[in-house]
Chains A and B, each alone.
Chain A
Amino acid sequence: MSDLPLIQADRAVPPPAATTSTGGRRRRLRLLSRTDRVVITLKVLVPLLLVTAFVWLPALATVVLSGTDWDGIGPLNEIDFVGARNYSDVVNIYPPFVPAIQHNLLWLAVLFVVATPFGMFLAVLLDKELRGSRFYQTALYLPVVLSLALIGFVWQLLYSRDQGLINAVFGSNVDWYGDSSVNIWAVMIASSWRHVGYIMLLYLAGLKGVDPSLREAAAVDGASESRTFFRVVFPVMRPINIIVLVVTVIESLRAFDLVWVVNKGRNGLELISALVTQNVVGEASRIGFGSALATIMLVVSLVFITIYLATVMRENRE
């Protein structure tokens, strides 16, 4: 759905000109038939309306609600505005908030430093057409396909303190999910387990697309394997690298499912997204307070989005 406007982008430029009726442009407009114009207008309008209705308006509503103490009961006109109280409460008297921010950042760091490079590494290995490469590919990608229910189940079997495989095999007594200094790492391993497969597949697809003659040329020039990769293949794959980077950032910001499965994001597994859910969804209905958390999350995401866009735009200009 989203690629349609892109395809039309070059042709979609003219329509705004239709309103500014300068002579030269009007002539260009005749290149487009009536049907073309209708189609283009629709193709711009429909996604625009959808995005506005389902992304921007709700986001705006969240920001507005974050200034209220609405509990989800009663008509909208009974909502009281409380100014920035929700924000000051979040920062000052809500104990899970600071750990949540730290955990989100930790999540980003681990995915970025460990999981993503490892996934890329596996992709490079699999690209070598090893024997049984199909099997490895499937095995590594499997975690991405599995439903959350199953993933929670699998890791519960491993991590349970009293009945889990890890403690049984090693005779250890670690409370993997309950000890708040350990559980974030335990969950991080589970999360990386999924992330690695995802990155591997993305990167493998990219590697398959690299022109083999580049490698041959490098080999003829006597470049070693690793030198070929870092000096030739890696730079060529810039679009994929950026996608991988963006995927990593997005995955770490929206990390939610695993901690929710484990203990609903409490006791050492606080994440902003889990806190938002705890407060907004369900019976709790602290909608104002939860919206304040959601707004903070939005701002944090905007920081990363801005950095990303700035980088991409600067590079495009060069």
Chain B
Amino acid sequence: MSRPRSQAEYLARLVPPSVAGINRRSLLAGAAGTGALLGTGLLAGCGDDSGSGGGSSKDVSLGSNQSDPKPKDVLAKVADGFKTSSGVQVAVNTVDHNTFQENINNYLQGKPDDVFTWFAGYRMRFFAQKGLASDISDVWGKISGYSDAFKKASTGDDGKQYFVPASYYPWAVFYRKSVWQQHGYQVPTTLDQFTALGAQMKKDGLTPIAFADKDGWPAMGTFDILNLRINGYQFHVDLMAGKEAWTSDKVKKVFDTWAGLLPLHQPDSLGRTWQEAAQSLQQKKSGMYLLGLFVGQQFSNDEQSDLDFFTFPEIDPSIGAKALDAPIDGYMMARKPKNEDNARKLMEYFGGKTAADITVKSDPTTLVANTGADVSGYTALQKKAAELVGSATEIAQFLDRDTRPDFASTVMIPAIQQFIKNPKDIDGLTSSIENQKKSIFTD
């Protein structure tokens, strides 16, 4: 479920999504066919066979999911930077993004690299709790430039840090300035204004909200933001952790509100990819689109400056509109790194200003997590995105990063698609989710 994060990844995705998907998954498909009968043991060998070879005291190994050319190149430059500053060679072991994610369980239980790329959220805390990652609180004592929200997002359930953030992207409502100027639209700050704006767009012959959920995850962003606006961040966290009931009135209100907004959404969303929806925004057929910053990848270079966004408007004044989804990517350290000292040094370097500076310089499409970095190269959109996240009181990681992956993929994706198909049966839907949740969140 990778969201493209750079121009290069965007280029890689110029092939239609169905094709882009299969390159990475054809192996998986093959494995699955046999896997159905062969059980699961055989898959265990997939992820960990190319671990770090040497392990001399001058080496440290890094397992990377940055398989696309651009991010891979950036990481190589950061690794070079580390070598110059510390004299330690980083052996980067790059694995295809999806393969990495899908094999993470086996990878971490086998012979993982000393340091590996991962993202903040439930899964990070889960690995920490299972003892599959090392406590790096001492590293956090040495690095600076992170807001409290980022530190919170790097902290495990036991209050210790297990994660060093590197980059992130916010989810917001994107629009084209030229379209809005032409019709004289104003940025809405309440749900009523938002709805009225949508109705006006409809009158003006636009699809108010571009929408796509063929791949199952984009609509999670809509659920998340409504939940954050209606029930607040803490409820989001508890709901995702399985502590709150999906049958509660709070969750029903989220679906209710969404059902009210659905007529403003682009119809037939279940057959559309986010790229196609983003193109409807780019072609000025849609008025706005709630998506991550990567929506810009569907815009040509000279259109970038026409792209703007606002954070989803306030629904409940007592909750406000300060929380948002901004998934954070970064690094974790394996449970027993072969070369612990160097691994800690590398983590510190990753968290430092130098690494962030190298990243900004080499890849102008990322937002780096370290506020100490030199961001003079940011575009206006990047600056605004960084400000938005900087001013956020709480940062959620996105539904599928904030909860158990089995719950997100096998329960929530079908459930949200079911809701989009039939928004009327909210009671049936929520009780079905709750029943499945109880069966999954057992321990």
Contact = CB atoms under 8 A, between A and B. Distances in A.
Interface of A: 54-55, 58-59, 61-62, 65, 69, 71-74, 85, 89, 92-96, 147-150, 152-153, 155-157, 159-163, 173, 175-180, 183, 254, 256-257, 260-264, 266-267, 273, 276-287, 289, 291, 294, 297-298
B216 A262 contact: no
B268 A175 contact: yes
Interface in B52-107: 101-102, 104-106
Contacts of A157: 16
A52 to B, nearest CB: 13
B413 A273 contact: no
Given A73-B109, A89-B439, A287-B40, A277 B32 contact: yes
A147 B26 contact: yes
Given A149-B22, A256-B29, A286-B440, A58 B418 contact: no
Contact of A294 (B18, B37, B442): B37
13 contacts: A62-B37, A69-B442, A94-B436, A153-B18, A177-B214, A177-B270, A179-B268, A183-B271, A260-B25, A261-B18, A283-B101, A283-B405, A284-B405
A177 B80 CA distance: 46
A65 B40 contact: yes
Interface residues of B, number: 60
Contact of A74 (B130, B216, B276): B130
Contacts of A61: 39, 41
Interface in B1-46: 15-19, 21-23, 25-26, 28-29, 31-33, 35-43
B16 A156 contact: yes
B35 A163 contact: no
A163 to B, nearest CB: 7
A93 B434 CA distance: 10
Nearest to A164: B271
A177 B18 CA distance: 11
Contacts of A183: 271
A69 B439 CA distance: 10
B270 A180 contact: yes
Q: Point out which of B36, B123, B409 has the most chain A C-beta atoms below 10 A from its C-beta.
A: B36
Given A267-B270, A281-B102, A152 B409 contact: no
B402 to A, nearest CB: 14
Contact of B33 (A159, A176, A254): A254
Contacts of A159: 271
B35 to A, nearest CB: 6
